[in-house]
Chains A and B, each alone.
Chain A
């Protein structure tokens, strides 16, 4: 499984692998927000936690179809199905690779972008923490969505339609942590709930994704 992980990581970092694209998208979206809502710092600092969460979520979404579609097209997915590792392991590794190449960089970049949006000083810690806890869930859920639509040509839009409603609880809780943190309110409950959601997704999604991949490979 480690070999699979390293392979996926190196593939994405290579040219054309899309590694920096999620980050670039995140930056662009955040930069566009003041143009859309006006530069008043009070507005921006109010919406900053939510916008940063939404931007990170959308950036994650965009890189989802790469997880499986490329392997599907060149037949590697069929090979992986016959490999000694269980399909659930493959799905889990794919989700992990997605997180390392997308979720993690977004989490690390978020504070810098928070500066652009006048995020309140107390908010930086909670924003980063909530993204750190929440983005693995986004990767796990996204991998499930990608598995469902892997056989559909030009399935990007369908993937978004399916995955975005599934993202709602994570978005609500994650941005709730970030918002409350920025306002100086108590964040413990929200963070605990977010953590539970992430752990649950990490535990269950590989099974659901593996089932979907197997169906598609038939």
Chain B
């Protein structure tokens, strides 16, 4: 850790909050993407099955 001196709290909190916000955004985007892909695959499966049955 570099010598942050008297501004250590400011610098660390700035980095901490920003990185938390950015990782939160990335995580949310990835998880939502995966979830949607799964739901779509399931729905398309059901549609295909429905067509086969009829």
A and B in direct contact, judged by CB atoms within 8 A: no
**A residues with CB within 8 A of B:** none
Residues of B at under 8 Å CB distance from A?
Answer: none
